[in-house]
Amino acid sequence: MAHFFKPKNNKRHSSRSGSNGQADGVISKQHQKVEQLSIARLSDDGRGITAHNGKTVFVENALPNEIVDVVITNEKSSFYEAFAHTINNKSSRRYEPQCAHYKDCGGCHLQHIDLSVQQDFKLTNVLNKLLHIGKITPQNILPTIGSEGYNYRQRVRLSVVHTNDKILLGFRKKNSRALVDIDECAVMAKPLNDLIGLVREWLNKHRPSVSHVELINGEQCVGIIIRHVKPISNVIRKKLNDLLEKFHITCWFQATKGDALTTIDDRTCAPELTYTLEFLSDEKIRQIVYLYHPQDFVQANSKVNQKMINQAIALLQPQAHETFLDLFCGIGNFTLPISLSAKHVVGIEGSSKMVGQAAINAVNNHCDNTSFKKADLFEAGAVEKIVNREEDSDVVDGIDGIDGIDGIVLDPPRAGAKMVCQNIKKLSPNKILYISCDPNTFIRDARILIDNGYILKDFGVVDMFAQTYHSEVMGLFVLNKKSNVNLTTGKIK
């Protein structure tokens, strides 16, 4: 997934200090100003592309067909990097950013571009990569799934920096470790924006040793995770509780990354956040309510998540006689909706806590035709354990009686599902739906699937993170009936 809180640690920005120079217009003496450059197209990360002195120039804050004066901030053997100092003629697709911090903050990259153009750019970019890197052309292009460009993000992590004068709370600056002290974030859900002032007040008044603050917008409960590097006294914890309790906000504390969360009064945190999805089942609206722990992974854009699952079901068309595997299933985000139409769905996940939570969600929503198992799907033998139903394997315990797998859902982390795809012939499903938060690993794995006898029938972009250059993709692979690969043996027929 994409994260707003991770600053880039990229050598291509090493010549810069602090912001990108657009805020005050000051040009450093060592930087070269070049006038009247014509922008041809956008790069993968949304920068304008032009040429100067026989080299490619990557220009921040520039759009195709604009004539700009740029300041070159970095020179390599084959390219320059620059920012648009002056835009001499603005593109009709240029959009006025709604966030007051956009020029400095590194969280968003594309707020200066109209939302529909952002989505066209992402789709075109991924299709070009599919063709030129993977040598793949989808049979059908799906409409891009998106939502509003602002106030969509249901979960964010803010960094905290302690200075002599005050404590800063916000996101990293563009191309810098420095922090932008924010008053609001235009892409955050409104209930989370309302918390920034309260948390800042507590931090500056009591100055606890806090490194990060995570804000989570659940349906019934808004939550805050306070990550601290030194113990916080009960007195100071209570001061935060006094600020929050009137707004029905729950707070948890975490000493170090990976530690269990505790409440204000030092009790262990229990799952108490929820989100709801709705589906048409037997001509009635069926709600699925997911209960989750603050540390569980859930999608950050709830509206896109609903649309994404709707599209997944439309593509898979699960039937009452079919059995599915949902690999990297999390807390059952895809598993439970698919189970409304399928015979049986088995969810497999590497986190034992999320496996347990998925099983609880299935029981709570009366999805009795599901089962959940823990397995490391990056492990070489995981697929064999599923196929062979080894008696000592937690992966397959409880799924006896399943004669075969009709379809698979893959929703892996950024690393992708290479091991599963390399062993796909051992499962031999007729259809595979692959949802990816990294188009590069999707292309790698898509090539593996195609080489194993599948075709990419449907493909589209899921714009989970509007205003950023991050793209998620969804592809439906179906067994190529004309393939000369025997999926059982892996041999050419």
Residue 288: count of CB within 10 angstroms of its CB: 23
Strands 67-75 and 32-38: antiparallel
Nearest to 225 by CA among 194, 189, 206, 199: 199
- Catalytic residue, chosen from 105, 108, 185, 437, is 437
DSSP reduced 3-state for 450: helix
In this structure, the strands spanning 262-263 and 249-254 are antiparallel
Q: b/e map of 388-397 (b: 16 or more CB within 10 Å)?
A: eeeeebebbe
How far is it, in rounded angstroms, from Cα 78 to Cα 317? 49
Instruction: Please give the Cα distance from 227 to 283 (Å, whole number).
Output: 46
Beta bridge partners of 89: 67
DSSP per residue, 27-68: --TTSEEEEEEEP-EE-TTS-EEEEETTEEEEEET--TT-EE
User: 256: burial class by Cβ within 10 Å (0-12, 13-18, 19+)?
Assistant: exposed
Query: What is d(CA 51, CA 372) in angstroms, rounded to the nearest whole number?
Result: 54
Collapsing DSSP to helix, strand or coil, 439 comes out as helix
Q: With 0-12 CB in 10 A as exposed, 13-18 as middle and 19+ as buried, what is 67? A: middle
Query: CA-to-CA distance for 115 and 101, rounded, in angstroms?
Result: 18
The H or E element that residue 432 is part of is strand 431-436
185 an active-site residue? no
Catalytic residues: 437
